[in-house]
Homo-oligomer: A and B are copies of this chain.
Amino acid sequence: MTPAPDVDSLVAGARDGDARSVARLISLVEDASPLLREAMAALAPYGGRATVVGLTGAPGVGKSTTTNALVGAYRGRDKRVGVLAVDPSSPFSGGALLGDRVRMQDHALDRDVYIRSMASRGHLGGLAWSTPQALRVLDAASCDVVLVETVGVGQSEVEVARTADTTVVLLAPGMGDAIQAAKAGILEVGDVYVVNKADRDGADNAVRELRHMLTLGERRAPGEWRPPIVKTVASRGEGLDELVDALDKHRGWLEETGTLHERRLHRAADEVESIALTALRERVGDLRSRGGEHGLDELAADVVAGRTDPYAAADRLLARLTGR
Contacts and interface: CB of A to CB of B under 8 A. Distances in A.
Given A273-B296, A277-B281, 7 more contacts: A48-B305, A261-B304, A265-B301, A268-B299, A268-B313, A272-B296, A321-B322
Given A261-B304, A269-B296, A276 B321 contact: yes
A314 interface: yes
A272 to B, nearest CB: 4
Given A48-B304, A318-B279, A268 B310 contact: yes
Contacts of A279: 314, 318
A310 B265 contact: no
10 contacts: A36-B311, A41-B311, A265-B297, A265-B304, A272-B300, A273-B284, A276-B321, A321-B322, A322-B323, A323-B324
A45 interface: yes
Interface in A249-268: 261, 264-266, 268
Contact of A314 (B45, B47, B272, B324): B272
Interface in A264-309: 264-266, 268-269, 271-273, 275-277, 279-281, 284, 288, 296-297, 299-301, 303-309
A286 to B, nearest CB: 12
Contacts of A43: 309
Q: How many copies does the complex hold?
A: 2
Contact of A276 (B40, B271, B276, B317): B317
Q: Which of A133, A307, A318 has the most B CB atoms < 10 Å from its CB? A: A318
Interface in A57-115: none
Contacts of A313: 268, 272, 275
A133 to B, nearest CB: 8
A37 interface: yes
Q: Which of A40, A43, A314 has the most B CB atoms < 10 Å from its CB? A: A314
User: Nearest 6 CB-CB pairs, A to B?
Assistant: A322-B322, A275-B314, A269-B300, A268-B300, A40-B309, A268-B303
Contacts of A306: 44-48
A297 B37 CA distance: 21
Nearest to A320: B276
A58 to B, nearest CB: 24
Contacts of A288: 269, 273
A179 interface: no
A261 B297 CA distance: 12
A202 B318 CA distance: 54
Nearest to A312: B41
Nearest to A266: B300
Contacts of A133: 310
A46 to B, nearest CB: 7
Given A304-B268, A311-B37, A280 B318 contact: yes
Nearest to A39: B309
Contacts of A324: 322-323
Interface string A30-44: 000000110011011
Given A44-B308, A309-B40, A311-B37, A277 B275 contact: no
Contacts of A261: 304
